[in-house]
Structure 1
Amino acid sequence: MIGRIQGELLGKYGNTVLIDVRGIGYEVDAPLSVLCELPGKGGGVTLYTHFVVREDAQQLYGFMSLQDRDFFRLLIKVNGVGPKMAVTIMSGMSVLELADCFMREDVTQLVKLPGVGKKTAERLVIEMKDKLKQLSLSGSIGEQDLLSAEQQPLNDYKARQSEAEAALLALGYKPAEAKKAIAAVASEGLSVEQIIRDALKGMVKG
């Protein structure tokens, strides 16, 4: 089991990051909230990981905190929720926001996440409400601080929009939905990560 990975960030591709660990490049899938916290290329990265082994693939999933990883592990225990869907769910809302939805049994907000139908949302509410008792949901769990535009500069505004749109498409949103959401929030002063995060918030609340 690979439980933690530390190294140099080589790049971000959709919701996948490439991390160099002593000459070996590890591809790690992560929620977009994690990408918002990562440094620029060449920066040091430490992620807590969940390792999935299947017959046809071996996949790492990364998180900024042990609490977020534990939340992910609870999600994938829900019937019908695999790792990919769990990453999508955690990309659309923070852990605190999701916990609030589960405790309030707010199916309406959950079905706005890509790939989450009404039956899945209802199952999430029923199963996660009990599972949340296993976590200590303090005010710090799942809160993600966005990097400022100065920390993550991208020279070309159109390139920022394109990168943000590609990330949303990787999560399962339709091209028209992604383009509309980005157009509603993007401005020249925002980083890619901020555009993505604001667009996701707009789609979930809209």
Structure 2
Amino acid sequence: MIGRLRGILASKSPPWLVIDVGGVGYELEAPMSTFYDLPDLGREVALFTHYAQKEDSVSLYGFLREGERRLFRDVQKVSGIGAKIALAILSGVPVDEFARLVQAGDVAALTKIPGVGKKTAERIVVELRDRVGDFGGAAPGLTGLPGDPQSEATVALQQLGYKPAEAARMARDAAKAGDDAAAIIRKALQSALR
């Protein structure tokens, strides 16, 4: 399994790019969210990858952020969604915005993503609502975590096993003006133990 590649960006022509790793050119398919932030050709780049093997083909997908790869993998668990639609979702909306739309149950906004119809959008909301909080919080420093302390505390509580809605409520109830994320988490956990 190939989980990450670091090498020289040899070619980029959406949706394909080639990374030269020690003289071997790896061809990857990537969403536009990754293409927007790629360095110039000839520069070093590191990508998280997803390796997919089917009966008649092998594919490698590349992502600059772990949250993108996680969304790509999880959204394909929804019935009727494959790699093509998963890439379209990542190309059409940032990970944090997708999570917000799913949590809000905004089917109308989701149907504006190419390849996502009303029934698919409804399935996404039903099947991913409890997991969307995980997309951005997987690897701090790599994923573009929300900047405010309450959001950071919410992500940390989710990583501790609380459901997204419960983590958000706990962080909201514990947060006081001037608290940093650590203080909010500590107070939320103390409150949960009472």
TM-score (norm 1): 0.65
Are 2:66 and 1:66 aligned? yes
The structural deviation recorded for 1:50 is 0.6
The structural deviation recorded for 1:140 is 7.6
Tell me the amino acid that sits aligned with residue 56 of structure 1.
Answer: D
The structural deviation recorded for 1:139 is 10
Could you tell me which residue of structure 1 aligns to residue 91 of structure 2?
91
Q: Contact 1:7 / 1:19 at 8 angstroms: preserved in 2?
A: yes
- In the TM superposition, 1:50-199 aligns within 5 A as 50-135=50-135, 137=137, 141=143
Instruction: Name the SS of the counterpart of 2:130 in structure 1.
Output: helix
Q: 1:65 to 1:124 in 2, by over 3 A?
A: same
Deviating above 3 A after TM superposition, structure 1's stretches of 4 or more consecutive aligned residues are 133-143
Could you tell me which residue of structure 2 aligns to residue 18 of structure 1?
18
Q: Contact 2:17 / 2:28 at 8 angstroms: preserved in 1?
A: yes
Deviation readout 1:78-113 (Å, 9 max, x if unpaired)? 111111110110100000110010000011111111
Corresponding residue pairs, total:
143
Q: 1:22 to 1:139 in 2, by over 3 A?
A: closer
Q: Contact 1:75 / 1:86 at 8 angstroms: preserved in 2?
A: yes
Could you tell me which residue of structure 2 aligns to residue 163 of structure 1?
none
What is the alpha-carbon distance in structure 2 between the residues aligned to residue 118 and residue 70 of structure 1?
23
Q: 1:70 to 1:100 in 2, by over 3 A?
A: same
> Unaligned stretches of 5+ in structure 1?
144-206
Q: 1:117 to 1:4 in 2, by over 3 A?
A: same
What is the alpha-carbon distance in structure 1 between the residues aligned to residue 93 and residue 23 of structure 2?
34
Structure ranking higher on relative contact order (CA contacts 8 Å, 6+ apart): 1
What is the alpha-carbon distance in structure 2 between the residues aligned to residue 33 and residue 133 of structure 1?
19
What is the alpha-carbon distance in structure 2 between the residues aligned to residue 109 and residue 57 of structure 1?
33
The structural deviation recorded for 1:16 is 1.2
Q: Contact 2:8 / 2:20 at 8 angstroms: preserved in 1?
A: yes
Could you tell me which residue of structure 1 aligns to residue 3 of structure 2?
3
Instruction: Name the SS of the counterpart of 1:46 in structure 2.
Output: strand
Q: Contact 2:14 / 2:30 at 8 angstroms: preserved in 1?
A: no
The structural deviation recorded for 1:15 is 1.3
The structural deviation recorded for 1:67 is 2.3
Instruction: Name the SS of the counterpart of 2:114 in structure 1.
Output: coil
> Unaligned stretches of 5+ in structure 2?
146-194
Greater CA deviation, 128-137 or 101-110?
128-137
The structural deviation recorded for 1:37 is 0.8
Could you tell me which residue of structure 1 aligns to residue 33 of structure 2?
33
Flag the structure with larger Rg: 2
Q: Contact 2:16 / 2:29 at 8 angstroms: preserved in 1?
A: yes
Instruction: Name the SS of the counterpart of 1:131 in structure 2.
Output: coil
Tell me the amino acid that sits aligned with residue 74 of structure 2.
Answer: L
TM-score (norm 2): 0.69
Tell me how large the CA RMSD over aligned residues is: 1.9
Q: Contact 1:95 / 1:142 at 8 angstroms: preserved in 2?
A: no
Percent identical residues: 45
What is the alpha-carbon distance in structure 2 between the residues aligned to residue 70 and residue 60 of structure 1?
15
